[in-house]
Structure 1
Amino acid sequence: MKGLRRAVAMAALLAGAAGIQVIHSGAAQAALPTAAVALGDSFISGEGAGDYQPVTDTSGTAQSFPGWSAANSNAYFCHRSANASLFKASLPGIQARFNLACSGGRPADVASPSSARAGGRSVASQLDQLRAVAQTHDIDVVLIGLGSNNSQFTFGDVASLCANRFIADAWTGWWEFWAYLNGEVPQEPCTVSDLATDAEVAAATAETTAAVRQILDTLAQVDADGDHRVVLQTYTNPLPLDVAPQYRDEDDRTDTRDKFRALGAERYAAGCPIHRASLAPGHVFSQNLATLVKNTYTTLAAERPTADLRVLDVQRAFDGARLCENPGSPDGTLATPLRVQDGPSGTFVTSLSGRDKIAIQRMANTCITYFQTCQESWHPNAAGHAVLGQCLTAALTAGPRTTVTCTRGSGGTLTIS
C-alpha cells in the first residue's frame, strides 16, 4: 500500500508539473490510514481525565501547560486528554485517533476559530482541524459531543450558578445577607428556568443542528472514501437525584436552614456543594441536553437518510457512581468533584472547614479570573471516560440502531439497549 501511495504521489507530481488536473482514484484514497476523530466540547475532549496533551494553537505552535496564571484563552486549556473516551474505546480497523474537541467548545467553534468569540481559546475552527486530518487519513469514525455550551447557556455557568448559591447560603446568615449584601447574592436553590428555559433550549438546538450539519457537509467533501460512522453523544450528569443520607445534615442543620457551614464544608469535601432541591432541576437540564442532541439527530437523519448517523445516550452511564451518591465520595465515583484553588496556585482546596466567607469569596474570584483553576469540576474523570469509551464501542457495534442507550447497573455492569 505504501508503494502504491508513493507511486500515486509521484504521478500526481509529474502530472501537476505538466499542467494536468489529477483526479485521485478510489484505490489511492483507500490507501490512506483509517482514523477516528472526536469533535465538540469538554465531555468529549477529556476534561477531568488528566494527562492533557499539548494543543496546537492558531499560529501552529504546540502549547504545553503554560502555568495556572496564564490567560484562559491559551490553547492548552482545551484539555485534550490521553484518557478521553475516544482513546479508551475498542475501534477495530482504526489506525489513528485524533481529538479535536475543546473544553468550552460551542457550535460557533465548528466553523470559526474559538478565539473569534469572547472567552474562546486560541485554536482553529474544528472544521479546519478536521480538513487537516482528512489530508492524511481516511476518516471512518466521528464522535461528536456538542450543545452543552452555546450562545444561550453554558455548562460552566449552570454549574457555578447552583454551587455559588449553595455556598452563599451555607456561609452567610440572613442578617449579613440583608445588612451587607443588600440581598444581591441569590441563596435559594436553582430552578429549571434558572438553568435553561424552553426558548433557550430551542435556540441551542438550532445552533447545534446547524453546526453538526456543517460537519456532515465537510465530511462529505473530504472523507477519502465517503464511508464514515457518526455518533452524536448525549451528556452525563455528575450528580445524583439525591445525596446519600450522611450528606443531608450536619450539626442538626440541613440546607434549608439559615447558615450551615459544617454541612457546606462536608458537601464540598465530598465534591457536591449544591442544595438538594437543585438536584432535580439539574437532571431536567441534563434531560433537555439529551433531547437537544436527539432532535439534532432527527432533523439531520431526515435530511440524509443514507448517512450512518446514530445517537449514543449516556445519561445513565454513571448510575450508582455519581458524586455524593454513596458514602466516601468522591472516592469511587466516575466524575470529578467540584474543586477550586486559593489563587492560581496549582493546589486544589479539598476542605473548606474553618474558612470564613472572605476566604470563600477569594477562591470564587480565582475561579472567575482564572477559569482553568476550576474547569475540571463536575466532569467525567479518567474512570468515567473509560466507561464512556465502552459505551462508544457498543454504539459502533450495536448494529443498525438509531439510538444506543448505555446504562450502568449494579456492580458497574453496562447494559446496552
Structure 2
Amino acid sequence: MSRFRRTVLSTLLAVTSAALSTAVALPAPAAAALPTAAVALGDSFISGEGAGAYSPVVDVDGVAQSFPGWSAPNSNAYFCHRSPNASLNRADLPGITDRFNLACSGGQPYDIANASATRANGRQVTAQLDQLRAVARTHDIDLVLVGLGSNNSSFTFGKVAEECANRFIADAWTGWWEFWAYLGGPVEQDPCTDDDLATAAQMSAATAETTAAVRQLLTTLDEIDADGQHRVVFQDYTDPLPPEIASNFWTEDSRDDTRDKFRALGAERYAAGCPIHRASLGTGQRFAQRLGTLVGSVRATMAAEFPAADLVYVNVQRAFDGARLCEQSGSPTGALATPIRSMDGPSGVFVTSLAGYDKLDIQRIANTCGTYFQTCQESWHPNAAGHGVLARCLTGAAATSARTVTCVRAPDGTVTVS
C-alpha cells in the first residue's frame, strides 16, 4: 500500500472515529437537586417560646450554646428558645425534606438583616438573613414562616404583658395609702388602655420597621433560592387571654378587681395564669387585632412590590378560641398558652401560687423577673399544645391557594383554615 493511500486511510479512520465518538457522547450529568427546606424567621411566637425542650443555639462566635443556668445573662443565644415543639417542626409539609428554625424569642425587625447582638437587649446571634444564606447553600428553600411585629423599637410583647400584669398585682396587694406612706407617691394600678400598650404613632412606626425588614428578606430570597420558587407565610398573633374570663375568677372573698386591695383574688388569678384586670381584657384583644392589621398590611405592601412572589397571610387570632388562659374554670389546665410564672430568685423553681405572700415578697419576685428575664420569659406564650394548633394553621397556609386565610379553633377543638 502506497504511503498516500495509507495516509488517506488513516485520516478517514481518524475522522470516522471522531464522528462516532461525538455521536455517542453522553451529556454531562445534571447537578443533583438540593434537598428542600422550610425555614422559620422572626420572634418568640415562631421560635417556640413556651413549648419547652429548647435546642442549643449557635452564637455569633459559632459556638452552640446549651442552657447556661438561670443566672446567666439573658443575652445568651440559648434564650432564643428554639423548640422542637414549635409549629414549623410539627406542621404537615409535604415535599419538605428539612426544617430550620432561625427565629429568636424577642426578635425584632432589626434582627433580620443585622446581628441581634449589636442592639440594646439583643441576643448573641447573627442576623437571621445570614443564617438563611447558610441554609440556602445546602438546600432549596421552598417555605418561609415569618412572625414579626410584636417586638420593635417602639414596644415589645414582654413589656406589654408586664405593663398590664404589674398594674393588677400592684392593685391587688397594696392599698393606695401604702404607696403614699411608704413609696412617696402613687404607682399605676388602673387597667391598661390601648395607648398604654401602643399608640397609633408607635403602631405606624412598627409597621414601617417590619415592612423594611420583610423587603430585605424577600430581596435576599430572590438572590439565594435555588429555583426561585418559595412560599412566604406571614403569621400574626393570638391573645393568650380571652375576651372574658370564666365567672369563677371574677371575685374572691366578696372582692372584685375594682376594689382597693384584693389579695385573695390576685392570688387566684395568678395561680390560674391570668393576673390581669377584667377591664384590661378588651385592650389585649384589640392589641392582637392591631398586630394582625400590621401583619396584613405588610403582606399587602410586599405583594404590590413583589407581584410574582407567593405571599400568604394567616390570621391566627382565633386559633386558641375556648382554650385561652382563664377562659375555662380549670385554668391553666387545658389552656393553649403558658401562665404567667416567675421565680423567687434564679432558683429554677417557679412560683405557682402567691397565696400568703405580702407586698415585699411580691416585689422581690417581680425584681427576679426584671433582673433575670429568663425566669419569666415563657409567660403568656403558646405552650407545646398551642404550638401544635399553630402547626395546623401553618399546614393550611402552606397548601392554600388563597392569599389571606383565617385559622379558627371550634369548641370541639377542631381547627380550620379558610
TM-score for the superposition, normalised by structure 1: 0.93
Q: Which residue of 2 aligns with 1:339?
A: 341
Q: Which residue of 2 aligns with 1:301?
A: 303
Taking the aligned partners of 2:234 and 2:284, their CA distance within structure 1 comes to 21
Q: Pairwise mapping of residues 159-178 of structure 1 onto structure 2 (< 5 A)?
A: 159-178=161-180
The change in CA–CA distance for 1:242 and 1:183 in structure 2 (over 3 A counts) is farther
Taking the aligned partners of 2:340 and 2:203, their CA distance within structure 1 comes to 25
> SS of the residue aligned with 1:187?
coil
Q: CA deviation at 1:415?
A: 2.2
Q: CA deviation at 1:26?
A: 12
Q: Pairwise mapping of residues 16-415 of structure 1 onto structure 2 (< 5 A)?
A: 28=31, 31-399=33-401, 401-415=402-416
The change in CA–CA distance for 1:26 and 1:79 in structure 2 (over 3 A counts) is farther
Q: Which residue of 2 aligns with 1:16?
A: none
Taking the aligned partners of 1:301 and 1:271, their CA distance within structure 2 comes to 39
The C-alpha deviation readout for 1:176-219, integer Å capped at 9, x for no partner, is 02222233421110000100011100100000000011110110
> SS of the residue aligned with 2:85?
coil
Structure 1 letter corresponding to 2:33: A
Taking the aligned partners of 1:219 and 1:70, their CA distance within structure 2 comes to 35
Q: Unaligned 5+ residue runs, structure 1?
A: 1-24
Taking the aligned partners of 1:251 and 1:183, their CA distance within structure 2 comes to 28
> What count of residue pairs does the alignment treat as equivalent?
391
The change in CA–CA distance for 1:26 and 1:175 in structure 2 (over 3 A counts) is farther
Taking the aligned partners of 1:26 and 1:104, their CA distance within structure 2 comes to 46
Structure 1 letter corresponding to 2:416: T
Q: CA deviation at 1:174?
A: 1.8
Q: Which residue of 2 aligns with 1:13?
A: none
Q: Determine what percentage of the aligned residue pairs are the same residue.
A: 72
CA contact (8 A) 1:26 1:225 kept: no
Structure 1 letter corresponding to 2:345: G
Q: Which residue of 1 aligns with 2:13?
A: none
Taking the aligned partners of 1:85 and 1:224, their CA distance within structure 2 comes to 25
Taking the aligned partners of 1:180 and 1:162, their CA distance within structure 2 comes to 23
Structure 1 letter corresponding to 2:130: D
TM-score for the superposition, normalised by structure 2: 0.92
The C-alpha deviation readout for 1:119-140, integer Å capped at 9, x for no partner, is 0000000000000000111100
Taking the aligned partners of 1:245 and 1:391, their CA distance within structure 2 comes to 30
Taking the aligned partners of 1:183 and 1:109, their CA distance within structure 2 comes to 39
> SS of the residue aligned with 2:260?
coil
Q: Unaligned 5+ residue runs, structure 2?
A: 1-27
CA contact (8 A) 1:233 1:312 kept: yes
Taking the aligned partners of 1:183 and 1:289, their CA distance within structure 2 comes to 34
Taking the aligned partners of 1:351 and 1:404, their CA distance within structure 2 comes to 39
- What is the root-mean-square deviation of aligned Cα atoms in Å? 1.1
Taking the aligned partners of 1:343 and 1:263, their CA distance within structure 2 comes to 24
Taking the aligned partners of 1:120 and 1:183, their CA distance within structure 2 comes to 33
Structure 2 letter corresponding to 1:202: S
Structure 2 letter corresponding to 1:42: S
Structure 2 letter corresponding to 1:214: Q
Structure 1 letter corresponding to 2:230: H
The C-alpha deviation readout for 1:155-182, integer Å capped at 9, x for no partner, is 0000000000000000001210222223
Q: CA deviation at 1:263?
A: 0.1
Taking the aligned partners of 2:245 and 2:184, their CA distance within structure 1 comes to 32
Structure 1 letter corresponding to 2:190: E
Higher Rg = 2
Structure 2 letter corresponding to 1:343: G
Higher deviation after alignment, 170-179 or 140-149: 170-179
CA contact (8 A) 2:176 2:186 kept: no
> SS of the residue aligned with 2:318?
coil
Taking the aligned partners of 1:106 and 1:260, their CA distance within structure 2 comes to 37
CA contact (8 A) 1:38 1:99 kept: yes
Structure 2 letter corresponding to 1:224: A
Q: CA deviation at 1:27?
A: 5.2
